[in-house]
Amino acid sequence: MVYRLGPAYPGSQGIDSLAELLALLPCLQAVVLVGKKAQKVEKHIRAVAPQLNIFTSPHPSPMFVNRKPENRSLLLNDWQHVQKSLAQRR
């Protein structure tokens, strides 16, 4: 299941909503922060939900993917790492 929030950067109203959302998801095991904007809230997530595994990934925009040939592989490697980590926890 994928949840998307509005902007949740430090100092925004979305940051409070993020804590509320995480509290409603007691079985949540991991969060993938996709892109630099999402990654700005990593410290906040670690503070309000230290039990979560947090992964990061570049944003899969065409600008990123097409900028360098190796960027596609970077994305795939990040997501494969997430998949393997979650599979080990089952």
pLDDT in tens, 28-84: 999 999 999 889 899 999 999 999 999 999 999 999 999 998 999 999 999 999 999
Give CA–CA dist 81/75, Å, rounded.
10
What one-letter code names the amino acid at 62? P
> Which H or E run includes 32?
strand 30-34
Q: What is the pLDDT of residue 37?
A: 86
Among 42, 54, 35, CA closest to 10: 42
Beta-bridge partners for 18: none
> Which has the higher per-residue pLDDT, 10 or 54?
54
Q: What pLDDT shows up at residue 20?
A: 87
The tens digit of pLDDT for each residue in 12-32 reads 667 778 888 899 999 999 999
Q: Tell me the pTM.
A: 0.80
